[in-house]
Structure 1
Amino acid sequence: MESPVIEHRIHNFSSGPSILPQEVLERAARDLVIHPELGHSVMELSHRTPFWEAAMERAEADLRELLGVPDDYAVLFLQGGATLQFAMVPLNLMPEGGVADLINTGRWSQKALAEAKKLGRDLRVAATSEPTGFDRIPTQLDLAADSAYVHYVSNNTIHGTEFTAPPDVGDALLVCDASSNILSRPMDVARHGLIFAGAQKNLGPAGLTLVIARRELLDRATWSLPTMLHYKPLAKAGSMLNTPPVWAIYITGLVLDWLKRQGGAEAMERRNAEKAAILYGAIDDAPLFEGCTAPDSRSRMNVTFRLTRDELTSAFLAEAASHDLKYLKGHRSVGGCRAALYNAMPVESVQRLADFIRDFSDRHA
Structure 2
Amino acid sequence: MGSAQSALNFGAGPAKLPREVLEDVQKEFLSYQDSGMSLIEMSHRGKEYSKINKDAQAIIRELLNVPDNYKILFMQGGGCGAFAAVAMNLINRTGSADYAVTGTWSGKAAKEAAKYGEVNLVFPKADKPGSIPDQSTWKMNPNASYVYYCDNETVDGVEYSFIPETNGIPLVTDMSSSIMTKKLDISKFGCIFGGAQKNIGPSGVVVVIIREDLLGNPMKCCPSVFDFTHISKENSVHNTPATFSVYVMEKVLQWIKRNGGLDEMEKQSKQKSDLLYNTMVESNSFYTCPIDENARSRMNVPFRIAGGDDKLEELFLVEAEKLRMYQLKGHRSVGGIRASLYNAVSLEDVQLLVKFMKEFQKSHGSN
- Same fold by TM-score, threshold 0.5 exceeded? yes
Query: 1:219 aligns to what?
Result: 216
Q: Which runs of 5+ in 2 are unaligned?
A: none
Q: Is the 8 A contact 1:283 1:357 kept in 2?
A: no
Question: How far apart, in 2, do the equivalents of 1:187 and 1:226 lie?
Answer: 30
Q: Is the 8 A contact 2:93 2:145 kept in 1?
A: no
Alignment of 1:137-176 (within 5 A): 137-139=132-134, 140-176=137-173
Question: How far apart, in 2, do the equivalents of 1:215 and 1:264 lie?
Answer: 26
**Equivalent of residue 130 in structure 2, options 135, 143, 164:** 135
Q: Which runs of 5+ in 1 are unaligned?
A: 1-5
CA offset digits 1:307-357 (Å, max 9, x no partner): 125031111111111111111110111111000000000110100001111
Query: 2:188 aligns to what?
Result: 191
Question: How far apart, in 1, do the equivalents of 2:216 and 2:180 lie?
Answer: 28
What amino acid sits opposite 2:356 in the alignment?
A: F
User: How big is the shift at 1:204?
Assistant: 0.5
**Equivalent of residue 294 in structure 1, options 292, 295, 302:** 292
Alignment of 1:275-286 (within 5 A): 275-286=272-283
Give aligned-pair identity as a percent. 38
**Equivalent of residue 303 in structure 2, options 305, 314, 317:** 305
User: How big is the shift at 1:37?
Assistant: 3.4
- Paired residues in the alignment total 358
Query: 1:85 aligns to what?
Result: 82
CA offset digits 1:32-58 (Å, max 9, x no partner): 222233222111111111121111111
**Equivalent of residue 119 in structure 2, options 119, 123, 126:** 123
Q: Is the 8 A contact 1:24 1:254 kept in 2?
A: yes
Structure 1's 96 and 325: CA in aligned 2 closer, same or farther, altered over 3 A?
Answer: same
Aligned-partner SS, 1:148? coil
Structure 1's 263 and 128: CA in aligned 2 closer, same or farther, altered over 3 A?
Answer: farther
Q: Is the 8 A contact 1:105 1:128 kept in 2?
A: no
CA offset digits 1:246-267 (Å, max 9, x no partner): 0000000000100100111111
What amino acid sits opposite 1:290 in the alignment?
A: T
User: How big is the shift at 1:222?
Assistant: 4.9
Query: 2:44 aligns to what?
Result: 47
Question: How far apart, in 2, do the equivalents of 1:235 and 1:38 lie?
Answer: 30
Structure 1's 65 and 261: CA in aligned 2 closer, same or farther, altered over 3 A?
Answer: same
What amino acid sits opposite 2:166 in the alignment?
A: V
Alignment of 1:323-362 (within 5 A): 323-362=323-362
Q: Aligned-residue CA RMSD in angstroms?
A: 1.4
What amino acid sits opposite 1:262 in the alignment?
A: N
Q: Is the 8 A contact 2:25 2:248 kept in 1?
A: yes
Aligned-partner SS, 2:114? helix
User: How big is the shift at 1:97?
Assistant: 5.9
Question: How far apart, in 1, do the equivalents of 2:165 and 2:209 lie?
Answer: 20
Question: How far apart, in 2, do the equivalents of 1:325 and 1:225 lie?
Answer: 43
Question: How far apart, in 2, do the equivalents of 1:87 and 1:144 lie?
Answer: 21
Q: Is the 8 A contact 2:83 2:113 kept in 1?
A: yes
CA offset digits 1:217-269 (Å, max 9, x no partner): 11132535322221111100001110111000000000010010011111100
Q: Which stretches of structure 1, 4 residues or more, deviate above 4 A after TM superposition? A: none
Question: How far apart, in 2, do the equivalents of 1:159 and 1:182 lie?
Answer: 17
Structure 1's 97 and 259: CA in aligned 2 closer, same or farther, altered over 3 A?
Answer: closer
Aligned-partner SS, 1:200? coil
CA offset digits 1:148-204 (Å, max 9, x no partner): 100000001111110012112222210000000000111111100000100000110
Query: 1:236 aligns to what?
Result: 233
Q: Is the 8 A contact 1:12 1:327 kept in 2?
A: yes
Query: 2:31 aligns to what?
Result: 34
CA offset digits 1:10-50 (Å, max 9, x no partner): 10000000000000010111222222332221111111111
Q: Is the 8 A contact 1:129 1:135 kept in 2?
A: no
Query: 1:3 aligns to what?
Result: none
User: How big is the shift at 1:127?
Assistant: 2.1
Question: How far apart, in 1, do the equivalents of 2:247 and 2:149 lie?
Answer: 28
Question: How far apart, in 2, do the equivalents of 1:256 and 1:38 lie?
Answer: 24
Alignment of 1:96-111 (within 5 A): 98-111=95-108
Q: Is the 8 A contact 2:94 2:144 kept in 1?
A: no
User: How big is the shift at 1:7?
Assistant: 5.7
Aligned-partner SS, 2:122? strand
Q: Is the 8 A contact 1:272 1:343 kept in 2?
A: yes
Per the normalisation by structure 2, the TM-score is 0.94
